[in-house]
Amino acid sequence: MTTYTLEGDKIKKCESNGETKEASEVEGANADVTPYMKEQWAAGKGGFPAIYSFFGKPLPDAAAEFEKMDADGDGELTAEEIFEALSKNNPDVTLERVQEIVAKADADGNGTVSKQEWEEATAKDPGLVPAAWLAKE
C-alpha cells in the first residue's frame, strides 16, 4: 500500500513498501492534488485510480500516439524517435528517461518498440509516459 502525506494541495511525502520519499524525490510530486485524488484516498482507494492523476494517465489512444512518434513509418519506435516527439512538447524530457521507457516497453529485446509492445506497455503501466510529456493539440 502507498501512503501520501499532504501539505495543502501538494504531496509532501510518499511511503511505499516501507520506504519513505520526500516529494522532491518522486516524479510528478509537484502536481496539485486533485479533489478526485483526495476523495479516493479518503475512501481508502489510494492505489491506481488516484495515482493516475499523479504520475500520469493512461494514454487515451496509444495507437495514435505511436503513429505520431513513428517518424520514419517503419512500425518500430526508437528512443530517438520517442525523444524527438516528446521533447517538442516538454523541455524536461531527457533521452536517458526515454531510453528507460524503451527498455520497459521493448518486450522482445530488439532495441525498438513495436506498436503491439507500445500498446501493451502503456496499458500495463499507464504512467510509463508522464502525462505532461504527451503532445497537446
Q: What is the DSSP string of 60-100?
A: TTHHHHHHHH-TT-SSEE-HHHHHHHHHTT-TT--HHHHHH
Count Cα atoms within 13 angstroms, Cβ side, for 128.
Answer: 23
CA distance 87 to 118: 18
Cβ atoms of 81 and 56 closer than 8 Å? no
Spell out, as residue ranges, where the chain has pLDDT lower than 50.
47-58, 137
Please give the pLDDT value at position 44: 59
pLDDT at residue 38, rounded to an integer = 65
For the chain, which residues make up each domain, given as ranges? 2-55, 62-133
pTM over 0.85, yes/no = no
Three-class SS of residue 50? Answer: helix
Question: What is the dotted CATH code of the domain comprising 62-133?
Answer: 1.10.238.10
Q: Is 101 helix (H, G, I), strand (E, B) or coil?
A: helix
- Average confidence score pLDDT of the chain: 75
